[in-house]
Structure formats: structure tokens, C-alpha cells
Structure 1
Amino acid sequence: MKVGILQAGHAPAEMIAETGNYAQMFSQFLSDRDYSFAAYSVVDMEFPKSAESADCWLITGSRHGIYDNLPFIEPLKALVRDIYSLNMPLVGVCFGHQVIAQALGGQVEKYSGGWSVGATDYNFEGQTVTLNAWHQDQIVELPPQARVLGSSPFCKYAFLGYGENVFTVQAHPEFDSGFIHGLIEKRGRGVVPDDLLEQASCKLELPNSNSALADRIYNIFDLAQVTA
């Protein structure tokens, strides 16, 4: 099965040699399945020919905002609508979570409450999960099709589902503590308040629920085999 990864941003240049870019991180994160991966750097205007160029899709995070006037945003939203109209499996993470919501009629804004960074507890379908967050933007208005699957006191719409085939999450199940440490040092200083960076640094050793989220993504992508 072919998974198309729509890379909406780049990892810090100083970290790519060690971690890979976002598409490579997801390929590794989802390596327990015998998927083939095709990466499209949509942030650089590298788009697939059509929504049917892969069996299922994943949209990565990005340092950019949905509201930024960047050339890749509108074509990506159009592709989201095409994928959704074909009832194809689709997963969105952080920026991906947001762009899917905006493309389908929701609203995303820079959150007045500030940043969420590092290990964060969420209520996800009645269970507590811990995932690494790194965001200031949030969905503030849901698309009509969306249902809320999970939240935190800071992030009301942290997990969303659209029908059976689309699953999105605001946090980063693909980020381990080492990557968060790198973000703190390479992107956080002077941007994120120091007290939040210190709190995130103190939580680097906490266990996370990344594997549980990988299983959830596998379940979404496996729908492509059921409907093939």
C-alpha cells in the first residue's frame, strides 16, 4: 500500500542530518507496516498529480500558519477537499490537523492563550494519552463534518475525526523527547516564553503514547486495503 506524505514544512536544518526531514520521520514512525511511502514537499510546491496518486495520505506539521500568504496553502486545501471527496484515508498532524479543518470549513487562528510545548496530557476517547506538542495556532471553529475525539484544558479540539477515514491530531506523535529538545534549542529560544521551554525541558524523560497513536493511524490507513 502506498502512503503519500504531504510535507508542509521542514525540520530545522541543523537537525535534518540526524533526524531526517518530516517525511522521513513519519516513514520511520510508521515502519511497523509494510507500506511504501511517496513524499511530496508541498511547502516547496511539489504536489502529486492527483488525489489518486497514493492509496492514503498524511499531512505533516509546519512552522507556517494556515493564515500565512504562502503559495502552497490554497493548492493544499484544494487537494484535501479532493481526497475527502474520494473518501480516501487521510491523517493530519499539527499543521495537517489545522489545514484539513480549514479546508473543510473550519477556522484556525493564532491562539490568544499562547504556546503548548513538550509532553502534554490529553483526554483521548476516554483515556489519558501523553504526546509532545509544539504549536501556537489552534482550530477555533470546527468544520460541520468534524467530531471531537479528544482535548486538553489548553486545546479544545486536539483530536478530530471526519467519518471513518479521516483522523487528525494537534500534537506530534512522531516527535520523541530528543527531537523536542532540539526544537527547544533550535527554534524555541527567543520565540517561545522561557518558562514554557523550561517546563518542557523538565518533562523530556516522561513516557509518551506515541505507539498508541501509531496504531490509530495504522487503523485509518488499513481502511484503504478494505475498500480497494
Structure 2
Amino acid sequence: MSQTSRSGPARLAIFKTGDSFSDVVQHHGDFEDLFIARLQGFRQQGGIIEVIDVRHASLPAVSDQDGVIVTGSHAMVSDQAPWSEALKPWLRRAWQANLPLFGVCYGHQLMADAFGGVAGYHPSGRECGTRLLTLTDEGRKDPLFASLPERFNAQLTHAQSALTRPPQSMILAANDHDPYQALRHGPRQYSVQFHPEFTPAVTAAYLAHQREVLADQGEDPDALHQGLRDTPEASSLLDAFTLKMVISD
């Protein structure tokens, strides 16, 4: 288990930082539901999952959990909402305590910002669809990412990115749009720009919402829709994280 001395089942908190579109929630579930559906291995091992909406609820003590996943959001890190800014020192305390962390999209950008990098709007605009990522040398040696092929597909939708990485963070995966698609911030602290919890159907729903924006920046939304693929390698990271970093030392 993690650094805590509590006995009993491993406890994982999902820090909910936003809500998906209403049609996505209706047909596929909200962000937290998509994560829970992917964490079959953790649940089969008796792990307990708690969803904490950090926009409204008090943050728990770092020692209350054995691991934390920070979800995506339609909010923007650069807006510096009070709840978001309050989460940064909590993440720094968790990092110092070596609590396993896994940030996704907004969570990735927030962790990068909290740990000494900078998050903001990407100069090339929005990235959406199933995109091909490439492991770095560090990624090929990483305990979580080494089991992935050197090039793998992932679901993406984001307008902001980690524009600069924290000085201590290692780059694990990249593509032409974003050199920091996956970062390791410490022994058990990870974040990814892509959405390992998304299915192609969820990404298709996001493409439908973002057709006009994508067309305005010179992309073909129909071609992006036709290019949607399953992304089992990217999705496998969630169970790998909880089984290797949260349940096991």
C-alpha cells in the first residue's frame, strides 16, 4: 500500500474537477463514472473508490487515501478558480508524502502548474480525436509505460496544455502537438494529457460539440471522426497505476 500505515482495503479517491456535457453524462456517464468503469482490476482486488468533488467539498487529509486520480474538467487552469488554486498546495503535500497521484487532462495541467511548470492555452489550438503518441526513452523504461508499445493511440480533447514541465518531471510520451503528453513527477506521481478513461463513443460526442472550433483552426471534423479508434493500451494505464502504485509498493 502507499505511505500510510492504515490496514484494510486500499482506498482510492477520484478528485472530480468538473462535469462533462449533459448528453455525454446521459449516454455514457460523467467523468468519475468513466474512470470507475476502467478500474475493474482495482475493484476486483477489493479496492474502495471514493469520489470527492473538489469544487465543493473539503479536501481530505493526505493520509486519508492510498492514491488519488484527478479528473478532467471543462474549466481552465489559467482561470485560477479558488477551488483549483486550493488544490495546488494539497497536491504538493501529497507529492512530498509520496502519495500515488494520477492526473488526467485538467489534472495533468494542474499538477504541472502546481509542481513548477506552467499551464495555459496551446498556441496551436485544440487537439481532439484519437491521436498517435510516442514513448520517450524514459517512457520505455517506466514501470507503468514500459508495457505499452512504442507508439500507441489515445483519446484527446483539450485546449490548454502543460506548456512547460516542472524541472524535476520526466517526459514519458509526446506527439507533434504536445511534447508533454505524459509526465512522471516522482516515483508514484503521474499525469497525462490524454483521456485513458474515454471510449471512442465519448470522444465522438466531444468531436460533435467541437466541430466548429476544429474547422475554424483548419481541421476536418469528419476525418477526425472517421479516425476514431479503440485505445486499450492507453486505458490500461489506469488499472496499472492502481494495482502497481496504490495497492502494491
TM-score by length of 2: 0.83
Matched, 1:78 2:102: no
Cα 1:224/1:14, change in 2 over 3 Å: closer
Instruction: Write out aligned runs for 1:5-16 (5 A).
Output: 5-16=14-25
Percent of aligned pairs with the same residue? 23
**Contiguous gaps of at least 5 residues in structure 2:** 1-9, 141-149
Matched, 1:224 2:246: yes
Query: Are positions 1:36 and 2:48 aligned together?
Result: yes
Instruction: Could you tell me which runs of 5 or more consecutive residues in structure 1 were left unpaired when the two chains were aligned.
Output: none
Q: Compare relative contact order (CA 8 Å, sep 6+) and give the higher one, 1 or 2.
A: 2
Partners in 2 of 1:211 and 1:175 — Cα distance?
8
Tell me which of 95, 114, 124 is aligned to 1:113: 124
Q: Which residue of 2 aligns with 1:92?
A: 103
One-letter code aligned to 2:41? D
Secondary structure of 1:101's counterpart equals: helix
Question: Partner residue of 1:59?
Answer: 70
Tell me how far apart the structure 2 counterparts of residues 165 and 87 of structure 1 sit (CA, whole Å).
7
AA matched with 2:203: I
In the alignment of these two chains, the number of paired residues is 222
Further displaced range: 172-181 or 15-24: 15-24
1-side partners of 2:74 and 2:212: how far apart? 15
The correspondence of residues 137-216 of structure 1 with structure 2, limited to 5 A, is: 137-185=160-208, 187-193=209-215, 195-204=219-228, 206-208=229-231, 209-216=233-240
Q: Can you list the C-alpha shifts for 1:146-203, whole angstroms capped at 9, x where unaligned?
A: 0111100111011100222011111111111110111122x31433336342232111
Q: CA deviation at 1:213?
A: 2.3
Helix, strand or coil at the partner of 1:6: strand
Q: Contact 1:117 / 1:197 at 8 angstroms: preserved in 2?
A: no
Greater mean alpha carbon deviation, residues 28-37 or residues 91-100? 28-37
Residues 199 and 230 of structure 2 are in contact (CA less than 8 Å); yes or no, is this contact kept in structure 1?
A: no
Query: 1:215 Cα shift?
Result: 4.4
